[in-house]
Every structure is written in structure tokens, then in C-alpha cells.
Amino acid sequence: MKTFAEMNFPGRLIAVEGLDGSGKSTQIYLLKRWLEAEGIKVYFSEWNSSELVKSATSKGKKRELLTPTTFSLIHATDFADRYERHLVPLLRAGYIVLCDRYVFTAFARDVTRGCPAEWVRGNYSFACAPDLTMFFKADLEVSLNRILEGRPKLKFFEAGMDLRLSTDPYESFKIFQGRILEQYMAMSKEFNFVVMDANENVEKQQVLVRKLVSEKIDLKKFKRRSPLPLPPSLAGDHLEKEESEDKAA
């Protein structure tokens, strides 16, 4: 799996991975705010967010009719849609793309659900590797507490109830998350994860995230050359003016 840099894309892709409740979404959000403030061309993309596939995914999850295979494929479809329509064009246009979860989420989850690793990896083989992958590793107990405190009602697939690990959703969730963590750790070296201590406080982690990003990527190169385009109302006025000038001429 080659990185976008190795494939000579002008843009760079940064991914965060980790268990639910590891704090990775907060970290990537703060990273995005910083890059934006620095005037850098940045785009954020979230796992499982393609408009096209969303209704099918939520229908499947609500009716609990997903098998490990369809669960895997519907997420691959979602990823492919975002990859082909957003990620690739933006990376070709020299953007820094931030991904809250990338293919590794599928590698870990779908394999935990029983899909063969080679099959899952093969399906995602159209995607390049991130230029930087940060894995937020909190103690399992810490991640579990963050989730279980905030959202007491666990969803069926989120808790891995389809695996019949336990009839108790909380117990099932714990076992499921533990197995996903094992899968993540097993691929950490192979995919060059930078493992972040997610037990540390949020601010300290963010300092480290920003340091890592600026060491890995020459951010100056990704600054917008021109200011942001005019809002549509002003752009419209401008056009009208031109037209009237034409008429006058």
C-alpha cells in the first residue's frame, strides 16, 4: 500500500484511528481548526458519511438485517464514494485531507466480525495509504467509560450484538471493543501507525498532534495562494456590472 506522497499526489492525507471514545474526533477537529487558521487548504471527511449510501446504511442498521459481509460492503461503498468524488480530486488539487477513520477501521472491525482479512483488504486495495496515521490508544477501560457514561443506550451493531458475544449489550460492547483493539495493534507496525497516548489530557495531545503534522508535512506548500472566493452575492454583482459595461460599450 503506497502513500499519496509516494504516488506523487500534490496533496497529503492524515488519518486518525482508534476505538470509540478514544478522543480521536476531538483531536482531528482541533487540528482542522488550526490548519484553517493558518490559511491552509484543508478538507475533513468522516467515516460512514456519504449522502448516497447513508439511507441504506441506517435502514440496514435499524432493521438489524446486516450480515458481516453486507456490513463490510456497505461501508466499502460509502468509502469508495467519498474517495472517488472528494478525496482523490482534492488530493490532486493539493489539499490536506483529514480523515476521521480510514480503511483500517474496516480492517479491524470487519475481521473481528469474521470476514477474511485478505478479502477485506482486497476490496479496499484501490485506496492509497495515508501520509500520516495517528492511532489514539487509550486504556480499554477509559474508552469504555467515555462511551458508556455519555450514551447509556448502545446501538445493536455498535455493541457488536450481531456477533452474539453476550446477551448483555454492555458486556458485548466490552468484548467487541477489546477484540477490535487487538486487531488494530496487530496491524500497527505494518501500516506505520503513530501511536498516541490517548489517556493524556486533550491539550497536551493536541500540542503533540500539531508538532507531528508540521514535522511530517511542509505546511507552507499547502497555503491558499489567493484569498477565499467571493461569496455568491458579491460575485453576482460583479457579473452584472460587467454585463452593463458590455452594453455600454
Partner 1 sequence: MSAKKSHKFYGHGIPRVKPEDLGGKLIVVEGADGSGRSTQIAELVNWLETSGRPTVQVGLKRSTLVSEELEKAQHGNVLSRTTLSLFYATDFADQLGNIIIPALKAGFIVLADRYIYTLMARDLVRGMDEKWLKNLYGIAPVPDAVFYLTVEPEELVQRNLSKNATLDYWESGMDLGLSREVFDSFLKYQGAMGEAFRLLQKTYKFEIVDANRSVGAVNKELRKKISAVLEE
Q: Which residues bind partner 1 (CB under 8 A)?
A: 52-53, 55-56, 59-60, 65-70, 73-74, 76-77, 80-81, 83-85, 113-116, 118-119, 122-123, 125-126
For residue 77, the minimal CB distance to partner 1 (Å) is 4
Closest to partner 1 by CB, 84 or 243: 84
Classify burial at 37, counting beta carbons within 10 Å of its beta carbon; exposed 0-12, middle 13-18, buried 19 or more: exposed
Please give the grid coordinates belonging to residue 66: 446486516
β-sheet bridge partners, residue 9: none
For residue 60, the minimal CB distance to partner 1 (Å) is 5
For residue 92, the minimal CB distance to partner 1 (Å) is 14
For residue 67, the minimal CB distance to partner 1 (Å) is 4
Closest to partner 1 by CB, 32 or 75: 75
DSSP 8-class letter at 223: B
For residue 33, the minimal CB distance to partner 1 (Å) is 30
Closest to partner 1 by CB, 33 or 85: 85
For residue 86, the minimal CB distance to partner 1 (Å) is 10
Please give the grid coordinates belonging to residue 119: 478479502
**CA separation for the pair 244, 246 (Å, rounded):** 5
**CA separation for the pair 69, 77 (Å, rounded):** 12
Closest to partner 1 by CB, 119 or 170: 119
Closest to partner 1 by CB, 74 or 209: 74
Please give the grid coordinates belonging to residue 207: 500540542
Task: Measure Cα distances from 205 to 29, 61, 67, 182 in Å.
Answer: 13, 33, 37, 23
Closest to partner 1 by CB, 70 or 214: 70
Closest to partner 1 by CB, 47 or 135: 47
DSSP 8-class letter at 20: T
Nearest to 107 by CA among 165, 182, 158: 182
For residue 75, the minimal CB distance to partner 1 (Å) is 9
- Asked if residues 15 and 216 have their Cβ atoms less than 8 Å apart, the reply is no
Displacement of CA 42 from its chain's centroid (Å): 14
**CA separation for the pair 142, 131 (Å, rounded):** 28
